[in-house]
């Protein structure tokens, strides 16, 4: 096929494709009256922002304590685990502090973060028995990366808002 034939084929493509199933019933069930939706969204976002600020302040406080508490259990952690913990927790705190608003569909973001936190606790528990075990460290790193990626997706970026 030459350039011209391809251009012809492109011109011949239809502008519309009908979905194989009717999408309207699901759309309709998700429609709320604009005014009402706006109010509830604002309320949810305000609550989420307040909760987020609370979480950030607690995490910030923990990070401040981290270097000045050599007697804490953290001081006894193997180097690799401690490094991962410090790097990712700091990054997480920074991302959360930059989180202006929560994207739509991420209203339960705190519960989601808790699920990852629980998984992180379990892997760290296993690391107590097998310190510096490469597979467990990789798993810990993956969990943190997933959590950070989720926070990024939950954050409302200005360029994703269409007006």
Sites of contact with another protein (CB under 8 A): 1-3, 5-6, 9-10, 12-21, 23-24, 26-28, 30-31, 33-35, 37-38, 149, 153, 160, 162-163
Minimum CB–partner distance for residue 162 and another protein (Å): 5
CB 116 within 8 A of CB 151: no
121 versus 162: smaller Cβ distance to another protein: 162
Measured from the CB atom, the residue of 77 and 151 that comes closer to another protein is 151
Question: How many residues are present in the chain?
Answer: 163
Q: How many CB atoms lie within 10 A of CB 125?
A: 10
Is 151 in contact with 99 (CB distance < 8 Å)?
A: yes
Shorter beta-carbon distance to another protein: residue 98 or 146: 146
- C-alpha span between 37 and 39 (Å, rounded): 5
- Tokens for 66? 């981290």
- The distance of closest approach from Cβ of residue 42 to another protein in the complex, given in angstroms and rounded to an integer, is 12
| Smallest gap from residue 7 Cβ to another protein (A) | 9
Whose CA is closest to 92, among 154, 42, 137? 154
Q: How far is the CB of 139 from another protein (least distance, A)?
A: 13
First-to-final CA distance of the chain: 42
Q: Is 19 or 70 the residue whose CB approaches another protein more closely? A: 19
């Amino acid at each position: 096929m030459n350039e011209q034939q391809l251009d012809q084929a492109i011109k011949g493509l239809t502008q519309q494709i009908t979905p194989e199933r009717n999408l309207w019933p699901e759309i309709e069930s998700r429609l709320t009256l604009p005014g009402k939706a706006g109010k509830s969204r604002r309320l949810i976002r305000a609550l989420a922002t307040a909760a987020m600020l609370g979480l950030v302040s607690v995490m910030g406080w923990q990070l401040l304590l981290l270097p000045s508490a050599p007697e804490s259990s953290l001081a006894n952690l193997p180097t690799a685990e401690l490094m991962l913990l410090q790097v990712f927790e700091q990054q997480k705190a920074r991302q959360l502090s930059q989180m202006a608003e929560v994207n739509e569909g991420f209203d339960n973001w705190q519960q989601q973060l808790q699920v990852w936190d629980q998984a992180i606790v379990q892997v760290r528990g296993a690391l107590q028995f097998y310190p510096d075990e490469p597979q467990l460290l990789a798993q810990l790193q993956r969990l943190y990366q997933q959590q950070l990626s989720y926070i990024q997706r939950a954050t409302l970026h200005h360029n994703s808002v269409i007006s």
